[in-house]
């Protein structure tokens, strides 16, 4: 499954930065929090500034005035950056509140509704007292803000008896990757696909998610 990353109007650490969350790391947690905050603030500011195509046109007119007399490659690059920003803003406007963060639907019914309405959903079926489930949580918390078009969700197996039975979930942690209309594309059970050890990097999980359905 492809995990598209809309280009933000600010510089963000890309998926090439992959800390290991096998042990507690306050700096990594802080980094994930900062990335999430930047996405949220960027989306809020962008929506406020660019409500429709008219505002895009005004921006381009203003930019052309600023660049009047400036020619060549630099001018073209600046205009291209602004066009890319406008595309990114439109993409943000189509995303639900759940995108860009790792969240837990309040009920199994709410989760099923999200699966039916979205294409590209990663669901972590967990149990609160399982240590390895907590490791997966840390990785997904880091990845969610970096892949805004993919929904990253979690739900306790105790709160999702129907899905647990329907999907034959027996080993935890279990990540199920859904496509359009709630169709199962792939699943990651335990850590076998992640090096079969607790100390795997976030990039390993990201790479495995990107291969979903192959």
> In this predicted model, what pLDDT tens digit does every residue of 15-29 receive, in sequence order?
333 444 443 344 444
Structure letter (DSSP) for residue 167: T
Distance CA 188, CA 125 (A): 11
| C-alpha to C-alpha distances, 180 to 65, 75, 210, nearest whole angstrom | 44, 41, 16
Q: Which SS3 state, helix, strand or coil, does residue 130 take?
A: coil
For the chain of 214 residues, list the mean pLDDT of each consecutive stretch of 10. Answer: 39 35 42 46 48 56 60 69 63 62 94 94 97 97 91 96 97 96 95 94 94 79
Distance CA 53, CA 147 (A): 25
Find out whether the peptide bond into 23 is cis, omega within 30 degrees of 0. no
Domains and CATH numbers, the chain: 98-210 (3.40.30.10)
Residue entry with tokens 């930065």: 17
> In this predicted model, what pLDDT tens digit does every residue of 113-161 receive, in sequence order?
999 999 999 999 999 999 999 999 999 999 999 998 899 999 999 999 9
């Amino acid at each position: 499954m492809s995990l598209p990353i809309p280009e933000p109007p600010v510089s963000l650490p890309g998926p090439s930065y992959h800390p290991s969350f096998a042990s507690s790391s306050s700096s990594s947690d802080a980094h994930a929090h900062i990335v999430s905050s930047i996405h949220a603030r960027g989306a809020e500011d962008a929506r406020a500034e660019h409500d429709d195509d008219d505002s895009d046109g005004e921006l381009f007119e203003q930019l052309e005035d600023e660049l009047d007399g400036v020619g060549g490659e630099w001018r073209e690059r600046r205009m291209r950056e602004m066009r890319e920003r406008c595309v990114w803003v439109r993409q943000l406007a189509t995303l639900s509140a759940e995108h860009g963060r790792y969240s837990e639907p309040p009920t199994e019914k709410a989760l099923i509704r999200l699966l039916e309405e979205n294409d590209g959903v990663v669901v972590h079926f967990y149990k609160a007292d399982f240590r390895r489930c907590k490791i997966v949580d840390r990785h997904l918390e880091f990845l969610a803000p970096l892949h805004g078009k993919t929904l990253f969700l979690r739900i306790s197996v105790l709160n999702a008896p129907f899905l647990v039975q329907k999907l034959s979930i027996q080993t935890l942690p279990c990540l199920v990757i859904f496509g359009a209309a709630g169709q199962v594309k792939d699943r990651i059970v335990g850590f076998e696909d992640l090096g079969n050890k607790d100390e795997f990097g976030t990039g390993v999980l990201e790479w495995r998610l990107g291969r979903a359905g192959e």
